[in-house]
Structure 1
Amino acid sequence: MSEIHYPDLTRDISRELASLRQTQKGTMQGFGAMAAASMADGALSEKHKELIATAIAVSQRCAGCIGFHVKALVRLGTTRAEFEEMLGVAVYMGGGPALMYCAEALQAWTQFAPAPASAPAA
């Protein structure tokens, strides 16, 4: 498993793409509009769409995609059980390579998800 720190990775990707937002405005605005339209609630909720996107990110072995979509899943209140069930589908569709990237997705989940609250001391 890699030593990727997903919050840093997503921040660094956003920072590095800033120059393209200036020099390739049409392309970047078009991609942003496509992303917003694709992920908007419709027949499927934004959360379901993010689960699909994360499964594709895992099966395509894209660490940056995993980072951004896992971050969104955490923001949308996805449960660990929902997340792990999606990973099972990603493995079914992507085989062994997807299984290896499930470890990456689980690492991202751990880094983005808030730590569980401690039980009160007795």
Structure 2
Amino acid sequence: MKDFPEHYKEINAWTKKLGLVVPDVMQGFGMLHKPAIKPGALDSKTKELIALGIAVTVRCDGCISFHVHDAMKAGASKEEIAETVSVAILMGGGPSVMYGIEAMQVLSQYEEQGFPELMSVTLSFR
């Protein structure tokens, strides 16, 4: 099993490195991400849960690490994350079951390693 909190940190570091190589693209992605997740008709927690469901369905383990982290940061409970995974399974079938299990492993590892300590690592494109 992957160490997902460590995976999150590694992806974050590589995202920053990618930003040095293709700064316009990564700044553009950051400019898309920020308004897409900010509260509007839907709160940020709901948007992160939607992103997590999509991440499970499209089988993006890095996305799962980030969106479980960010959903937790936005106040999502274990039960909300599990229900999000259940909807993703509905929409994605068997492969989503496997990646849904991965999302629950991420949640478990974040909880075991003391999620608040991870808060110092943030996704930044600048």
After superposition, give the CA deviation of every residue in 1:19-77 in whole Å (9 maximum; x if it has no partner).
Answer: 22122111010000100010010001100000000000101111100000000111122
Distance 1:56 1:72 in 2: 14
| Aligned residue in 2 for 1:29 | 27
Counterpart pick for 1:40 among 38, 41, 44: 38
User: One-letter code of the match for 1:78?
Assistant: A
**What RMSD, in angstroms, separates the aligned Cα atoms of the two structures?**
1.6
Most deviating of 64-73 and 18-27: 18-27
Any stretches of 5+ residues in structure 1 without a counterpart? 117-122
Counterpart pick for 1:94 among 92, 95, 117: 92
Distance 2:7 2:111 in 1: 16
Contact 1:74 1:112 in 2 (8 A): no
Greater C-alpha radius of gyration: 1
Paired residue secondary structure (1:31)? helix
Q: Say yes or no: does 1:83 pair with 2:81.
A: yes
Contact 1:55 1:86 in 2 (8 A): yes
**Count of aligned residue pairs for this structure pair:** 114
Distance 2:15 2:75 in 1: 27
| Aligned residue in 2 for 1:6 | 4
TM-score normalised according to structure 1 size:
0.87
Moved over 4 A (4+): none
| Aligned residue in 1 for 2:101 | 103
Percent identity between matched residues is 39
Distance 2:55 2:9 in 1: 18
TM-score normalised according to structure 2 size:
0.84
Counterpart pick for 2:62 among 49, 61, 64: 64
Distance 1:52 1:41 in 2: 13
Change beyond 3 A, Cα 1:114–1:45: farther
